Each structure stands twice: as structure tokens, then as C-alpha cells.
Chains A and B, each alone.
Chain A
Amino acid sequence: MKSSVRICCSGLSRDGVSLRLLLLSFFVSCVGLLYAQQVKVLSASELKRLSMEELINVEVTSVSRMPQKLTEVASAVQVISGADIHRSGATNVPDALRLLTNLQVAQLSASAWIISARGFNTIFANKLLVMIDGRSIYTPLFGGVIWELQNVVLEDIDRIEVISGPGGTLWGANAVNGVINIITKKAQDTQGTYIAATAGTFVKDMAEVRHGGRIGPKLFYRVYGLHFDRAPTIRPNGEDNTDAWRMSQAGFRLDWSSTPVNNFTVQGDFYNGRRRTQGFPSDNNGQNILARWRHTFSPRSSMALQVYYDRYFRDDIPSNASDEMKTYDVDFQLSFPVRKKHRFLTGIAYRLAKDHAQFLTPLVGILPPKKDLVRYSGFIQDEITLTDSLRLTLGTKVQQHFYAGFDLQPSARLAWTFRNKSTIWSAVSRAIRTASRFDVDYFIPVTPQPPTVASVAGGPNFVSETLVAYELGYRLQPTAFTSFSVAAFYNVYGDVYSVEALPGTLTYQIQNGSEGTTWGVELSGSGKVSNQWRWRAGYTYFEKNLYAKPGHNFNPDYLGNDAKNQFMFHSIFDISRKWHFDVTARYLDYLPQTLATARVKGYVEMDARMSLDLKPFEISLVGQNLLQNRHTEFGTLAIPRSMYAKIACRF
């Protein structure tokens, strides 16, 4: 046990970020497809009930390969639109994700966040599938997301969908506890120029520029650039931590509808950043490019072919480590009806991730430093319309993975929709978390040690963690602007991570020595007080019972710094046509102490945003974390109260 403590603590003693390089897992998965329409298809009587303000905000089209009405989705999905993110004062993706309470978000240093759904919120946080426009962004090095590398111009986000739970067959291996799907607007929806400048205390400065235009009648483009500098967090003794950081990024997107049934998208980003770290600064950079072709055969039949390349490099000077990951991914999906009652969705995917994890110290290592991780996967699902209101979805994912071998992940989902407005749904699914490099190839130190000397010798026998999830939910959407959703889950986990000494030695190995159950309830809703005042809210309750399997010796508390209760309220208020006042308040319960991390007090925090719309300019003043001078969300570093002013121009 001593040694596993050392793994964690050596990480925590640094700025928290190097933890990611110390404790990890890996999953790969396929492009998600579930495209929950935020505005459902409305009948005449439904459209007539909308106010004129609502009517001018109804989307004219919602094109996707698998359109599904939000009310009919048989999973615990919460969605926030780009417009509502704008009305929150969020400055980056993790800020925006705090607005969805089926996620637990904790900032642990200036540039590091851990984000999880349904528990297991640790530096591991390895049970989510996270995508930006179909490109998977969790790193196969440890199965989590390096959030500092995931920057998006928030103005160009169409919506963020978060599915808690295994989400379904089509989501793939890392979608054990949830899926985060960040979807940016199509180029045709970001026409014109957007320029914004921000200055503040925690976000010291930020500049964003985007220009969208068209080349001919069917080809649209946008190009963007962004840069920001962010201030350090605060150490327990009140001094500034050494973790200020900055990032510069640019990118583009092209959308071409050569014919109404053929849509092509090409998009890419590249970035360069630097974090201040103990000693010397640590640099990172990355590039990605993605191309997608969607072809529609008929309203119920379509295909999509997607390829992408993604590379990131991230240095961490304090841990003498760097990682370079190059990912090549090809994904093909096809949907087609069989008779009237069946709609099949099937897909195959290939992914090659070439990792180079380099440690410039003999004390810790990922061995061998270079490894090619290959994964083939496929899935098939059948959505069966049993009656007008009853739908059964059966499917399975199959996967052949470098570490895990062959895996089957079946699921069954039943949804009963009545009067087009509400749905009761239930699901049973099996999901797996395949091993990551950090589960299998992790060594402390890098040279073999005698059994009398404490050491960690990888996880040669580590197998996939398993989950069987039972879910029950209800969703109601009486109008486009009012919704209510409740989802309950009971999860049974097997073969969960542990670090244990081999009997009679001090040689630790990473094993599958934990198991247990988790359960909880997720509530979310939105509504309108008047034409000027809308709100969104969410509450999540979470409980767990994890323990060492018989014959094993590991304390699994360490696997999750999970809050029992969390609550969020988001108020969106138009004082007048020009003045807007928005508030988000959130409560997060305390995080219990574990053998590696300190107890974190429960906290209530609030952000407020006041903006003045002087077309084409928009001036806003935002206060973040206003209630306390500073508060801690994970570990020991504190996030200060902060303010920023922003001026934006759209023309």
C-alpha cells in the first residue's frame, strides 16, 4: 500500500497536472452518433403555442445522420445550447460543462480539470468518452482528457450534449459512465466576423477572432484564432502557485453541400501553449484535421465516412516526462430501414494511436516508451418500433483491442413515448473500460527491483473493467422551452483497478482487485417565468459502495472523490432588449478524504454576468466565483474570486 500512496502523492505534491501522467487508463471508441435535437419537430398546434420571441428562435433545419427527438432519447441526456453557454459567462469548455449537472467538474490547478459522470472523479477520471465534432479527445495514454488542450471559440459552439451512463451501443468503449459531445456550428451558421477581447483577473486576457464566408453558393468556411493568458491558482499558504498558462490556437472549418444529399466537412485546429511549472516552463502543442462525408439515401437511410488525424505533444518538466500521441482514425456508419418497423444502424472503425511517453528519470516510466495501440471495432443496433409509442433498441458493440482482446458490449433500451411529449425509458447495458498504458505499462522505478524493495511493476495481468448498468428515466418536454428529466441508475462494476503487492513481496502490480456498486438520481429541468426570464436547473444525487474483492487488499475510496449532492441553477434574464443579467449558482457537496487526497469542503459558488447589447457591439462584465475570496475544488489549490470585462463585435 505504501507504494501506491507514493504514486499518488508524488503527483499531488506537484501542481496536480503531472498526476495525469502518473495515474491513468485508456479507452478507445467510435464516433458517436446520437444527435439529440434540441428543438423537436413541432406540429402546427405546438408551433402556435410559441411566443413570437420563441418562434424566431426555432431552428429551421436539423440535419444529422441519425436525428432523434430529445424527448424520445432513451438515455440520461442533458443538453446546453451555445446561446445558453453565452448567457453564463463561461470562458472555456470546463466552465460550460459545469452548467450540466450530470457531470461533476473540479478544477485542480490553473490548467487542469477533472470531469466525470456517475462517480470515479479522480485524477484517473477515465470512464468518459469525450468528442469535439466527432473527434475523440480523451487520450489513450490514460483514458482521461487533458482539458488544457481542448479549447474552442465558445461563440461557435452549437450545443453540448452530455449523456450520463453507458449511452448505448453506438458510443463505444470509453462510454462507460458517460459521453460528452461538443458540437460546433456549421460554417453556414457562423457567417460574418466575430471579434472579442477579454481582460480580467483570473482570465488575464483573451482575444478571439472568427470570420465566416462563402465560396460559391454551396461552400461555406470559417477561420478563427484565439489566444489567452490565465492566472495561477493559490497555494494553501496564500501564495500564488506556479501554474499560470497561455495558449494560442487557430483553425478552420469548411462545409460543402455539393448536392442536398451529400455533405462534406473538413475542419482542423492547431495550437501552441505554455504552462509555468516549477523550474522551467512546460510547453504543449497539437494539430488535428478531420474530414467527413455524409450521404443521405432517404429520410431513414444514410451513411457517413469520417477520417481524422490528431497529434498532441505535452511536456511536464516537474515530472521529467512528456507524451506525444498521434492518432489515426477511420469510421464508417450506415443506417437503413428493414421493413417498416426496423431501423438498423451499423458501423465499423479502425484506430491507431502511436504513443511515445518519455520519462527523463529512472524513477518512473511507461515501458516501453513507444507503443502502437490498434483497435478495430464494430457495432450493430436495431431500433424496433413495437407500436406507435413503444420502441425497443437492441444492439451490441464488438471490439478487438491491443490490450483487451475481443469484447462484446450489448445493450437493450425500451422507450415509451406518449403524446409526443413525454417518454419513459429503461435500459440495461454492459460496458467495458479497456486497459490503458497507465494500467499496464507503468513502472516505479524503471529497472527491475528485488521483492524486498518497494516497486510498481506494471499491470501485466490487467483486464478490462466491466460495468452492467440498469437505468430508468422519464423525460417531459411540453414546449420547446420547458423540460423536465429524471434518470435513476444502478451500476454494478467488476474487475475495477487496484494496486496491490504480490503476496510476500513489496512488488506492487496494477490489478483488477476492486468491485462494487453505485447508484443515484439525476434531475434536470428548464422553464420560463416570463418572456424575459428563463431558467435551467439540475440536481444529482450519487452513492457508491466499492470494496476490495475477496483475497485482495486495496482501499477503493481512492478511486473516486465523489460528491453525494450537487445542485445548479442558471437564470437568464433580459432586463430590456439591450440589458441582460444572468446568474449561475452551484452547490457541490464535500469530497471525502482518501488515502491520497485531502477532504474538500462542500461549497456554494455563484457567477454573475451583466451585458449591454449595442449592436454590433456587446459589452459584458462577469464575476466568477463571487461568494468566497477563494475556494478549493480538488486537492489543496484554491480558485480565486475573479472578474472580467469583455467586448465583442459581430458584423
Chain B
Amino acid sequence: MPANAQLQVTREATIKAVFLFNFTQFVEWPAAAHGSASSPFVIGILGDDPFGAYLDETIAGEKVATHPLMVKRYREAKEVRGCHILFINAKLLEQKDLLSSLSGRSMLTVSDAKNFTRLGGMIRLATENNKIKLEINAAAARDEKLLISSKLLRIATIFDPPDYQR
């Protein structure tokens, strides 16, 4: 890859990685999502990892309440287990039932894929005008018993069509 294209990807990815980390502060998970007080809080990456070591560096030493943060990487959807935030590589969303197969586990789904919120994903990291904007499907998060802070909703575009059905 040409050098400067690589640099651009990296910078964009670093900002997205920090968003993933910040979501731990702005979303409330139901108590059942945690095993014990010391069980890890997992940020998962499904498919190719765009963040490299940067996400690990971002969460190093950080905690969500009493839960130490951890990054897990999955090749396929069926490997996903005990995960709280799942970043899904856009390429995998071509699989039709991917999102529904991940439901029912109080998992915050995040991606930068184009139709992500429309497909039932929760937060889309959209690159607009050279900046990362948030697009949130609040109904999808509610269905998974996730409480998204109003602070986050305030700066996001809300995708919440009345005819939205899971």
C-alpha cells in the first residue's frame, strides 16, 4: 500500500478505536452482562482488525467500574462469546443473518459499514467531511437492554424509523 494511504487509514482507525473505548463510558449494560465484579469487560473485533495494536494501547490499564478492559479478536460470528462491545468489519456484513445471529446477548454492535444502522446495527462510525460522526439506532440498543447516554445521543444522528422492526 502506498505510504500516505497507509497513514490515513491509521489515523482514522486511531480515532475510531478511541470511540470504541469511550462507548464503555456512555453506555450502560444490564447487570446480567457481567459474570462477576472482576470479570473482564470485552471489546471484540469480528473479522479483519483495522486497529492493530492501537486499540490494545488505548485500553491498556483501563477499567469499566471494577471490570478490567480486554480486547478479543474473532474470525467468525460463532466464536463471539462474552463480549460487550463488538466492532464488526464491514466485509462480514455481507452475510445476511449476521446481526440477528448476534442478538440477545446485550452486545453493543459497532461498525463503519454503510447501511449498518439500517440493517439493525447499533452504532455506525461514519466518516463525513473528514471527521468521524456517530449514527445510532437507539431502538436496536433498547431491544438489547442497553442504555445509551443522552450525552452520546446528543452528538449523534439518530436512526429511529417508526417502522423499525427487529
Where the two chains meet, the residues of A that have a C-beta atom closer than 8 Å to any C-beta of B are 41-42, 44, 47-48, 50, 52-53, 55-61, 63, 188-189, 191, 259-261, 296, 298-299, 577
The 8 closest A-B pairs by CB, nearest first: A260-B5, A47-B18, A44-B58, A60-B12, A260-B2, A296-B4, A61-B8, A261-B2
Across the interface, do B15 and A60 meet the contact criterion of CB distance under 8 Å?
Answer: yes
Alpha-carbon distance A298/B151, docked complex (angstroms): 41
Across the interface, do A59 and B131 meet the contact criterion of CB distance under 8 Å?
Answer: yes
Report the minimum CB–CB distance from A52 to chain B (whole Å): 6
Alpha-carbon distance A504/B54, docked complex (angstroms): 79
Report the minimum CB–CB distance from B109 to chain A (whole Å): 19
Across the interface, do B2 and A259 meet the contact criterion of CB distance under 8 Å?
Answer: yes
Across the interface, do B8 and A60 meet the contact criterion of CB distance under 8 Å?
Answer: yes
Across the interface, do B26 and A52 meet the contact criterion of CB distance under 8 Å?
Answer: yes
Across the interface, do B18 and A48 meet the contact criterion of CB distance under 8 Å?
Answer: yes
Alpha-carbon distance A60/B127, docked complex (angstroms): 8
Alpha-carbon distance A188/B7, docked complex (angstroms): 19
Alpha-carbon distance A57/B19, docked complex (angstroms): 12
Alpha-carbon distance A47/B7, docked complex (angstroms): 17
Across the interface, do A60 and B5 meet the contact criterion of CB distance under 8 Å?
Answer: no
Where the two chains meet, the residues of B that have a C-beta atom closer than 8 Å to any C-beta of A are 1-5, 7-8, 11-12, 14-15, 17-19, 21-22, 26, 54, 57-58, 127, 129-134, 151-152, 154-155
Across the interface, do B14 and A47 meet the contact criterion of CB distance under 8 Å?
Answer: yes
Give 8 new A-B contacts, CB below 8 A, not counting A55-B15, A55-B19: A44-B17, A44-B57, A47-B15, A55-B22, A58-B132, A60-B130, A60-B131, A189-B130
Across the interface, do A61 and B3 meet the contact criterion of CB distance under 8 Å?
Answer: no
Chain B neighbourhood of A260, CB < 8 A: 1-2, 4-5, 8
Alpha-carbon distance A48/B26, docked complex (angstroms): 13
User: Nearest residue in B to A52 (C-beta to C-beta)?
Assistant: B155
Across the interface, do A63 and B15 meet the contact criterion of CB distance under 8 Å?
Answer: no
Report the minimum CB–CB distance from B4 to chain A (whole Å): 5
**Sample (17) of A-B pairs whose CB atoms are under 8 Å apart:** A44-B14, A44-B18, A47-B14, A47-B15, A48-B21, A53-B155, A55-B18, A56-B132, A58-B131, A58-B132, A60-B15, A60-B131, A61-B12, A61-B130, A260-B4, A261-B2, A298-B3
Chain B neighbourhood of A259, CB < 8 A: 2
User: Nearest residue in A to B127 (C-beta to C-beta)?
Assistant: A60
Across the interface, do A56 and B2 meet the contact criterion of CB distance under 8 Å?
Answer: no
Supposing A59-B130, A60-B132, A260-B4 touch, asked if A48 and B15 sit within 8 A by C-beta, the answer is no
Across the interface, do A577 and B154 meet the contact criterion of CB distance under 8 Å?
Answer: yes
Across the interface, do A52 and B4 meet the contact criterion of CB distance under 8 Å?
Answer: no
Most chain A beta-carbon neighbours within 10 Å: one of B26, B127, B130: B130
Alpha-carbon distance A259/B2, docked complex (angstroms): 9
Across the interface, do A299 and B14 meet the contact criterion of CB distance under 8 Å?
Answer: no
User: Nearest residue in A to B59 (C-beta to C-beta)?
Assistant: A44
Chain A neighbourhood of B154, CB < 8 A: 577
Chain A neighbourhood of B3, CB < 8 A: 261, 296, 298-299
Chain A neighbourhood of B54, CB < 8 A: 44
Alpha-carbon distance A43/B121, docked complex (angstroms): 29
Most chain A beta-carbon neighbours within 10 Å: one of B12, B57, B129, B152: B129
Across the interface, do A41 and B11 meet the contact criterion of CB distance under 8 Å?
Answer: yes
User: Which residue of A60, A188, A261 is within 8 Å of B4 (Cβ)?
Assistant: A261
Report the minimum CB–CB distance from B124 to chain A (whole Å): 13
Alpha-carbon distance A577/B155, docked complex (angstroms): 9
Chain B neighbourhood of A191, CB < 8 A: 129
Across the interface, do B152 and A52 meet the contact criterion of CB distance under 8 Å?
Answer: yes
Supposing A52-B152, A55-B18, A55-B22 touch, asked if A296 and B2 sit within 8 A by C-beta, the answer is yes
Chain A neighbourhood of B57, CB < 8 A: 44
Alpha-carbon distance A42/B17, docked complex (angstroms): 13
Report the minimum CB–CB distance from B13 to chain A (whole Å): 10
Report the minimum CB–CB distance from A227 to chain B (whole Å): 26
User: Nearest residue in A to B4 (C-beta to C-beta)?
Assistant: A296
Alpha-carbon distance A58/B17, docked complex (angstroms): 13
Supposing A47-B14, A60-B15, A296-B3 touch, asked if A52 and B131 sit within 8 A by C-beta, the answer is no
Chain B neighbourhood of A47, CB < 8 A: 14-15, 18, 58
Chain B neighbourhood of A53, CB < 8 A: 155
Chain B neighbourhood of A48, CB < 8 A: 18, 21-22, 58
Most chain A beta-carbon neighbours within 10 Å: one of B4, B134, B154: B4
User: Which residue of A50, A52, A58, A63 is within 8 Å of B8 (Cβ)?
Assistant: A63
Report the minimum CB–CB distance from B122 to chain A (whole Å): 16
Alpha-carbon distance A296/B152, docked complex (angstroms): 38
Alpha-carbon distance A299/B7, docked complex (angstroms): 8
Across the interface, do B133 and A56 meet the contact criterion of CB distance under 8 Å?
Answer: yes
User: Which residue of B7, B129, B130, B151 is within 8 Å of A52 (Cβ)?
Assistant: B151
User: Nearest residue in A to B13 (C-beta to C-beta)?
Assistant: A60
Alpha-carbon distance A55/B1, docked complex (angstroms): 27
Alpha-carbon distance A260/B7, docked complex (angstroms): 11
Chain A neighbourhood of B11, CB < 8 A: 41, 60-61
Alpha-carbon distance A47/B15, docked complex (angstroms): 7
Chain B neighbourhood of A57, CB < 8 A: 131
Chain A neighbourhood of B26, CB < 8 A: 52
Chain A neighbourhood of B7, CB < 8 A: 299
Chain A neighbourhood of B8, CB < 8 A: 60-61, 63, 260
Alpha-carbon distance A293/B92, docked complex (angstroms): 37
